[in-house]
Structure 1
């Protein structure tokens, strides 16, 4: 698939699939085009412990890289309970359950359209 440019929707759906393959919990894909100007999609998912959070984030980065999608910025660490991966039009949030409950990104972005929700 190298050399084929993916559109933001394809990148977001690929991130969802990769997170699902790595056993992420409560995977949510939000279309934020109508409510934000800096990105098209948010992928939000949970990992049960720091090792799983890191595995999910690294797998998404590695697999999307293989498909020609560059990671523009990365923030956070598994030990803090939140890793953010910025692929430009797609932003991926991998959180521990405690941090996800605290920050409630779903509530903050409640005006966004839910595209996919996998429990």
Structure 2
């Protein structure tokens, strides 16, 4: 499975748990960390945790391994490392504070059309 397909699985999982403002940054020409950063937020700690667990479950159902999950204890910023895709799931207040979209402003955004493909089925 390529990183774009993995991104689509993660986007669908986030959407299934009603994550807000889901965006993906194409990191291939910007960083060696991952091919994509997926960024979204929930409005409560409980929702942030539910989103992170859904990403984990859907990725594992696809036969892939979750490398690491950090931040579940407080559920203010949960990082789900899928190797080629890194999911940043924020509480809405933390997302505004850290503003990863601006920090990684050199990265191209994955188009809404490409992301919506993942949320159709």
Q: TM-score, normalised by structure 1?
A: 0.90
Structure 1 stretches lacking a partner, 5+ long: 1-5
CA deviations over 1:43-87 (Å, ceiling 9, x no partner):
000011011001000001001101011111111126241100001
RMSD: 1.3
* Residue matched to 2:97: 102
Q: Could you tell me which residue of structure 1 aligns to residue 25 of structure 2?
A: 30
String of CA shifts for 1:64-116, please: whole Å, max 9, x gaps: 10101111111112624110000111100100111001101000111111004
Q: Could you tell me which residue of structure 2 aligns to residue 68 of structure 1?
A: 63
**Structure 2, unaligned stretches of length 5 or more?**
116-121
More helix by share: 2
Match of 2:74 among 76, 79, 93: 79
Is residue 46–residue 75 contact of structure 2 (8 Å, CA) maintained in 1?
no
User: In 2, Cα distance between the equivalents of 1:73 and 1:116?
Assistant: 27
CA contact (8 A) 1:40 1:90 kept: yes
Runs of 4 or more off by more than 4 Å in structure 1? none
TM-score by length of 2: 0.88
Number of residue pairs aligned between Structure 1 and Structure 2: 113
